Amino acid sequence: MRCAVLIALGVAVVSARNRRLTSLGSIFFEGMYTEKPQEVASTVESSSSRYGVDKSFPMHHPARSGIEKNNLYNEFIDGCREFYAPDGHLCDITEEERIEMNLNQPAGMVNYTEVGFAKIRAPDDLVEVLTRFWTTNYRSPKNIPIETWARGSTYTNHWSAPTKMLQMEALRGGGEALRTKVWDISKDILESWTGVELSPSSLYGVRVYTEGAVLAPHVDRNPLVISAIVNVAQDVDEDWPLEVIAHDGNAHNLTLEPGEMILYESHSVIHGRPFPLRGRYYANVFIHFEPLGHGLKKEQTHAKVDLSILYQQAWEKQQSKCSQDNDDDCKLQIDLNMEEVKIPPYILPGSEEGKRWLQAHSHATLTKNTNERAKKVTDKLDANFAASAGDLELLKQIVKADPKSLHRVDKNGWSPLTEAARSGHQDVIEWLLQEGANINQRTHKGNGGSPLWWAKKFRGSKHKIVAYMEEHGALEIPPKGHTRIKP
């Protein structure tokens, strides 16, 4: 799956790249370093078992011995299918994506801390503003609007335990002032924890889980990379742990009292609440950031690995792998990846995730003709890459140099035409058809979707590319085991 939809509707995504780096001299910052190592250590020690994934809930595999017998999970997934009937298959598609991301995304990510999480006391001023917001707006869970989830979403069991959302914009004591305050404070903490400069990427309001709630273990979609959870209020009969799978592969239960805070690398650390909530409610706020790419000053990072070194290492590793496989295309691709195309600093260049990111971001085009080497290697470049990026001129050059590349498919059976369809580039498809590309070639050794199916899946049935393809004889053939996309 190469999907990039947001997990929940109603997520506020902001872009504040030019936000000023606030001073790191505040009091809680001083406290953090003395406090953090013990906190982390104590959390690690207190976890009773050293199990990893797939024990409490399916994480890497949909169902395995042990989990198959997990009635909780069966109930969970059946509940979704019934709720969304007759579109119950949407639940299975989300599950597939959730598990695929758990399995593959962490490996392509830069890790900023050793274990990937830490638990601390939230600074007083943060607790104060959040508590004030909560007490001003909370009367009973009934009065809080229900949060809307995408159809078939399996991230929470909202069909049996609806989640509620106190949105910051709309409410008394909320608005931009509160958001800015929450962001500024947590940014300082997370920057000191990770050692890199961060930019806010998303701030939900306060989510209120209700009795019986389960949060399926998942990794966040980029750019929700470095995150914090603050327990704002709770009325529970027993602790409701956040289970994380740390960088060391072990599961850890983290419980929070109101006013406590978990810092975690949400793009690489699988996290969820797979044990149903016992109590009336649990209210927390999620604060998400994206790294800006360069480390803070050395003395502040406590000798954290320099990212550019990490980059270089990943690149060399991939280089030597390409050399072993004697794969020139691979070498050139990662060279270009490194030098010509900007991918976000938290994704390892040359990783599967890096390639996926490039495919999903058509604006990540090559700086053409400025670089000698780029010109020289044009004929070796991947036609799929050019088609996906919508770079018709580059695609023409590639096909001119290597006519077979027009029909060549990658290891998942994706042709340039499928890539162009998925990315919605009509001019590219038009040209490919003129040159004799097959508009109905299915992916995955002929068992996957046709280009039209993928176009609908990624662009929606109403996208103009869909009408265009249908006019040109495209058939919608779903992958084996999947159904057609709803109009």
Ligand X SMILES: *[C@@H]1O[C@H](CO)[C@@H](O)[C@H](O)[C@H]1NC(C)=O
Q: Is 10 left (phi over 0), alpha (psi -120 to 50) or beta?
A: left
Q: 335-359 burial string, b = 16+ CB within 10 Å, else e?
A: bbbbebbebbbbbbbbbebbbbbbb
Choose the binding region for ligand X from 94-102, 251-259, 286-294, 381-389 (rule: CB under 6 A): 251-259
| Least distance from ligand X to the Cβ atom of residue 347, Å | 11
Q: Which of 102, 253, 284, 423 binds ligand X (CB under 6 A)?
A: 253
Given the complex with ligand X, which of 210 and 266 has the nearer CB atom?
266
How far apart CA 183 and CA 189 sit, in angstroms, is 10
- Contact letters for ligand X, residues 321-350 (x by CB under 6 A): ------------------------------
Q: How many CB atoms lie within 10 A of CB 112?
A: 25
| Least distance from ligand X to the Cβ atom of residue 415, Å | 31
φ, ψ dihedrals at 57, nearest 5°: -165, 150
Q: Is 2 among the residues that bind ligand X (CB under 6 A)? A: no
Q: Is 222 among the residues that bind ligand X (CB under 6 A)? A: no
Q: Is 268 among the residues that bind ligand X (CB under 6 A)? A: yes
| Least distance from ligand X to the Cβ atom of residue 248, Å | 8
Choose the binding region for ligand X from 249-257, 337-345, 372-380, 418-426 (rule: CB under 6 A): 249-257
The two tokens of residue 24 are 């790191």
Kind and range of the H or E run holding 330: helix 328-339
Among 433, 333, 328, 448, CA closest to 384: 333
Q: Is 422 left (phi over 0), alpha (psi -120 to 50) or beta?
A: alpha
Relative to beta strand 242-245, strand 196-210 is: unpaired
Given the complex with ligand X, which of 291 and 424 has the nearer CB atom?
291
Given the complex with ligand X, which of 239 and 402 has the nearer CB atom?
239
Q: Is 404 helix (H, G, I), strand (E, B) or coil?
A: helix
Burial class (CB in 10 A: 0-12, 13-18, 19+), 53: buried
Q: Is 269 among the residues that bind ligand X (CB under 6 A)? A: yes
Q: Is 254 among the residues that bind ligand X (CB under 6 A)? A: no
Given the complex with ligand X, which of 12 and 161 has the nearer CB atom?
161
Q: Is 215 among the residues that bind ligand X (CB under 6 A)? A: no
Choose the binding region for ligand X from 11-19, 45-53, 366-374, 450-458 (rule: CB under 6 A): 45-53
How far apart CA 110 and CA 106 sit, in angstroms, is 8
| Least distance from ligand X to the Cβ atom of residue 348, Å | 6
Length of the chain: 487
The separation between the first and the last C-alpha atoms of the chain, rounded to the nearest angstrom, is 20
φ, ψ dihedrals at 120, nearest 5°: -140, 170
| Least distance from ligand X to the Cβ atom of residue 317, Å | 9
Q: Which of 48, 65, 71, 324 binds ligand X (CB under 6 A)?
A: 48
| Least distance from ligand X to the Cβ atom of residue 306, Å | 14
Q: Is 400 helix (H, G, I), strand (E, B) or coil?
A: helix
How far apart CA 177 and CA 417 sit, in angstroms, is 47
66, amino acid identity: G
**Per rule CB under 6 A, count of chain residues that contact ligand X:** 17
Choose the binding region for ligand X from 46-54, 228-236, 357-365, 435-443 (rule: CB under 6 A): 46-54
| Least distance from ligand X to the Cβ atom of residue 237, Å | 12
Q: Is 241 among the residues that bind ligand X (CB under 6 A)? A: yes
Looking at residues 89 to 128 of the shown chain, list those that interact with ligand X (rule: CB under 6 A). Answer: 106-107, 109, 111, 116
Q: Which of 15, 22, 42, 49 binds ligand X (CB under 6 A)?
A: 49
Q: By the criterion CB under 6 A, which residues form the site for ligand X? A: 47-49, 106-107, 109, 111, 116, 241, 243, 247, 251-253, 268-269, 275
